Amino acid sequence: MSPKDAIPLVHASLGEQELAAVAEVFASGWPAGQGPRGKALEAQLKERYGAGDAVAVSNCGAALHLAMLALGVKPGDEVIVADYTFPAPAHAVRYVGAVPVLADVRADTGTIDPQAVADLIGPRTVGIIAVDTVGMPADYAQLQTLADRHGLFVVEDAACAVGATYQGREAGALAEVACLSFHGRKGATSGEGGALIATDPAVGADARLRSSFGIGSIFDQAQVVGLPIPEFTEIGYNFKLSDIAAAILQVQIGRIGELLKRRSQVAARYGELLADEELLTLPQVPEDRTHAWQSYMVTLDPSVDRAALAKDLRAQGIGCGHGTWATHVQPVFAGKETCPVSADLFARNLAIPMHAELTDDQTERVAAALRTAVRTHRTTPGRAA
Ligand SMILES: *Cc1c(COP(=O)(O)O)cnc(C)c1O
């Protein structure tokens, strides 16, 4: 099989428009962060999310870290985090010396289970980080009710969810603070990149200051006539997004609708082609939300050997992967918690190719190969057909 027949799991849709935007930044002479492009991107995001502030940062991990600092999370505090996810939320809680308390997820959506959250709230709990799992928004109405009752914050990890909606509202605007990722495997990308979206402008201002070593924008200071010497007022980090990346993102944000439309068509086609395959459970999107389809994950029947199946598909040039992680079984987070639903999804889920440039033909090839492979790789004998 030639490499050109390969069907990658993900593919970033970056092209001529993004290149032209980068060329403009080169010509402007300001490639670093917090310059004109960064500010324009922040204005674009603030408007899109109807937010109090939007801060462009180097990645979503940095946005989560800044969120913990801006919300005042202290060593010893407990933050309840979704277990079934790229484990960035648990990392963020640990960055500030606090304790991530891992909550199990709903079997049907893979998103944090509000009942599990309710059961874990204790005297040291200060907040909740919900995750829009591979693009599926969590249950924010129930989570916010719990948070209000107990005086907790809610952070939305919308890393994968740009373009999704919940009860008619945009993912990224579903909690007081939301964190976005523009990593190369997400629906809108600048290679690496992220943003913090806040309803409270004070949270945004705090995050912006700490994203730049605790001083204001160097670009702004260079515009002032005279010699004002800025002062460092916080121990900050360098989490700035470059203006090169910001320029790419301005184009990508404008293309979210177009790119998501195609991913949604691919998801719908997989749904048709795989619906009657009893060894697979397909993603179910509750009626009150829409999916951003960062990944398309199917759940394999327990009788299917996932590793053998994945090896087979990859040998045919079809990209696939385990999807995302159960945080509680990662060595660095392993503790007393058990999250059986998350563990089960981590063991049985399979991500199949999903991106905006998949053709109908490729979608059909993936579905056909998967249908054959689930039968080839059954470990326990099935009933005779
Ligand atoms: C990808 C991802 C992140 C990390 O994003 P980066 O921009 O790579 O830091 C965080 N949370 C979730 C849920 C993710 O999927």
Q: According to the model, what pLDDT value does residue 385 have? A: 40
What average pLDDT does the chain have?
96
Q: According to the model, what pLDDT value does residue 239 have? A: 98
Cα 11 to ligand 1 centroid, rounded to whole Å:
16
52, 204 contact by CB (below 8 A)? yes
For residue 380, is pLDDT > 80? no
Q: Whose CA is nearest to atom 10 of ligand 1?
A: 88
| Average confidence (pLDDT) over 343-354 | 98
Sheet holding 169-170, edge to edge: 169-170, 165-166, 289-290
Which of the listed residues 181, 239, 241 should we mutate to test ligand 1's pocket, taking the one with most ligand atoms within 8 A of CB? Answer: 181
Mark which of 211, 229, 254 sits at the end of a domain. 254
For residues 250 and 270, membership in a common domain is answered with no
Domain ranges, residue 37? 16-254
Residue 384 lies in a domain: no
Q: What is the CATH number of the domain that holds 309?
A: 3.90.1150.10
Mark which of 212, 239, 254 sits at the end of a domain. 254
Cα 257 to ligand 1 centroid, rounded to whole Å:
21
Q: Whose CA is nearest to atom 8 of ligand 1?
A: 183
Cα 384 to ligand 1 centroid, rounded to whole Å:
44
Cα 231 to ligand 1 centroid, rounded to whole Å:
32
3-class DSSP string for 290-334? ECCCCCEEEEECCCECHHHHHHHHHHCCECCECCCCEHHHCCCCC
Q: According to the model, what pLDDT value does residue 223 have? A: 85
Give me the residue label for tokens 């919300």.
Answer: 71
pLDDT digits (tens, 9 = 90+) for 287-320: 999 999 999 999 999 999 999 999 999 999 999 9
For residues 232 and 286, membership in a common domain is answered with no
Atom of ligand 1 nearest to the CA of 294: 15
Q: What is the CATH number of the domain that holds 110?
A: 3.40.640.10
174, 137 contact by CB (below 8 A)? yes
For residues 209 and 274, membership in a common domain is answered with no
For residues 190 and 211, membership in a common domain is answered with yes
Query: pTM of the predicted model, to two decimals?
Result: 0.96
Residue 320 lies in a domain: yes
Which of the listed residues 64, 66, 86, 94 should we mutate to test ligand 1's pocket, taking the one with most ligand atoms within 8 A of CB? Answer: 86
Q: What gap in Å lies between CA 308 and CA 378, rounded to an integer?
A: 10
Nearest to 68 by CA among 87, 53, 43, 90: 90
For residue 383, is pLDDT > 60? no
Mark which of 213, 230, 254 sits at the end of a domain. 254
Q: Residue 65: which pLDDT band, with cuts at 50, 70 and 90?
A: very high
Q: To which H or E segment does residue 102 belong?
A: strand 99-103
Q: How far is CA 8 from CA 41, 164, 311, in A?
A: 30, 23, 14
Residue 40 lies in a domain: yes
Q: What gap in Å lies between CA 151 and CA 144, rounded to an integer?
A: 10
Q: Whose CA is nearest to atom 1 of ligand 1?
A: 159
For residue 226, is pLDDT > 90? no
Q: According to the model, what pLDDT value does residue 381 have? A: 62
55, 241 contact by CB (below 8 A)? no
For residue 170, is pLDDT > 90? yes
> What's the sign of the alpha-carbon dihedral 280, 282, 366, 18?
negative
Residue 201 lies in a domain: yes
Cα 229 to ligand 1 centroid, rounded to whole Å:
36
Give me the residue label for tokens 């999370």.
Answer: 73
For residues 263 and 246, membership in a common domain is answered with no
Residues framing ligand 1 (Cβ under 6 A): 59-61, 85-86, 88, 131, 157, 159-160, 181, 183, 194
Q: Whose CA is nearest to atom 2 of ligand 1?
A: 159
pLDDT digits (tens, 9 = 90+) for 257-288: 999 999 999 999 999 999 999 999 999 999 99
Residue 213 lies in a domain: yes
Residue 7 lies in a domain: no
Q: Whose CA is nearest to atom 6 of ligand 1?
A: 60
For residues 211 and 168, membership in a common domain is answered with yes
For residues 272 and 234, membership in a common domain is answered with no
Atom of ligand 1 nearest to the CA of 192: 7
Cα 62 to ligand 1 centroid, rounded to whole Å:
10
Residue 5 lies in a domain: no
pLDDT digits (tens, 9 = 90+) for 72-119: 999 999 999 999 999 999 999 999 999 999 999 999 999 999 999 999
For residues 29 and 114, membership in a common domain is answered with yes
For residue 384, is pLDDT > 60? no
pLDDT digits (tens, 9 = 90+) for 2-43: 566 899 999 999 999 999 999 999 999 999 999 999 999 999
Cα 277 to ligand 1 centroid, rounded to whole Å:
31
Contacts of 154 (CB under 8 A, 6+ apart): 127, 128, 129, 130, 140, 143, 144, 147, 175, 176, 177
For residues 270 and 346, membership in a common domain is answered with yes
| Buried residues in 92-119 as b, exposed as e (16+ CB within 10 A) | bbbbbebbbbbbbbbeebbbbbbebbbe
Q: According to the model, what pLDDT value does residue 382 have? A: 53
For residues 234 and 281, membership in a common domain is answered with no
76, 98 contact by CB (below 8 A)? yes
Nearest to 80 by CA among 261, 327, 287, 258: 327
Which of the listed residues 182, 183, 293 should we mutate to test ligand 1's pocket, taking the one with most ligand atoms within 8 A of CB? Answer: 183
Q: According to the model, what pLDDT value does residue 4 have? A: 66
For residues 233 and 324, membership in a common domain is answered with no
How many separate domains does the chain show?
A: 2
203, 28 contact by CB (below 8 A)? no
Nearest to 194 by CA among 330, 327, 292, 55: 55
Cα 144 to ligand 1 centroid, rounded to whole Å:
22
Contacts of 47 (CB under 8 A, 6+ apart): none
Q: According to the model, what pLDDT value does residue 132 have? A: 98
Cα 385 to ligand 1 centroid, rounded to whole Å:
43
Atom of ligand 1 nearest to the CA of 185: 1
Cα 190 to ligand 1 centroid, rounded to whole Å:
13
Residue 264 lies in a domain: yes
For residues 234 and 275, membership in a common domain is answered with no
Q: What gap in Å lies between CA 75 and CA 339, rounded to an integer?
A: 24
